[in-house]
Amino acid sequence: MLIHPAIDPVALHLGPLSIRWYGLTYLAAFGLFFALALQRLRDAPFASMTGARAWNRQHVEDLLFLGAMGAILGGRLGYCLFYKPGYYATHPLEVFAVWQGGMSFHGGMLGAIAAMVWFAYSCGKPMMEVTDLAAPCVPTGLACGRLGNFLNGELWGRLCDPTLPWGMVFRGAGDAPRHPSQIYQFLLEGLLLFALLWWWSRTPRPRGQVSAFFLLGYGTLRFFAEFFREPDAHLGLLGLGLSMGQWLCVPMVLGGMALWAWSLRQPSQNG
């Protein structure tokens, strides 16, 4: 049985300014997205695009900025709407109190999609081409976020068998060992999904298929990982004994299946 280390959530003090580990993981997530997206431009089908279809560094910078804003705003609004709608309906000003915590991946994804719709429209690029570029660059950012959750000792897992070698006691979660579900999600939704998506996207695929792979992969892996994650205390388990996170994955997987079926009718993107 392991004990979660007492890690100070503040990584660095610069006078009155406090830089938190969680903020640094967000910075790392955006940096990895930028580097990976630039690498994507060197691979097919993007490397061979010319004229109006061509991508460049400025496109990636704009996509990162808009996507980051969409993910942050959508993540916050998604948490308020999906997880505590009643509370924030009566305390609307606290929607802006981001320092209190509370972000939803599914809301962040919807916000990022909205940002990519705007980017695609403003640049005159097909929406599915934009999402196919971005999708393989996202899981490393998710891995960074789960690492931040672990460093903060939050979003811990459900109770586990005391003999489990990596069972961990988290501060504020009682004295019984729990699954370190943040690490499970770091490995599954982060590193494993990145490896699979990056490998799949290195070969030109029909338009939309890489995006469909992301929806199917994340939705499936997150649904599985939620069996080891403690559900939100104010929600508990919902219908069919599933958590809110699992129910939010259902439309994501169904959408991925529909998009995959659509992509099979598209020609391969060979530039």
Helices and strands in the chain, H and E counts = 10, 4
Angle between helices 139-152 and 193-201 (to 10 degrees): 170
Q: Kindly report the number of other CB atoms within 10 A of residue 39's CB atom.
A: 12
Distance CA 115, CA 63 (A): 8
Distance CA 178, CA 158 (A): 5
Q: Is 146 annotated as a binding residue?
A: yes
Rg, Å, the chain Cα set? 20
> The tokens 């892996």 sit on which residue?
221
> The tokens 């992509």 sit on which residue?
263
Q: Kindly report the number of other CB atoms within 10 A of residue 89's CB atom.
A: 11
Tell me how many degrees the CA angle 74-72-54 measures, rounded to the nearest 5. 90
- Annotated binding residues, written as ranges, equal 146
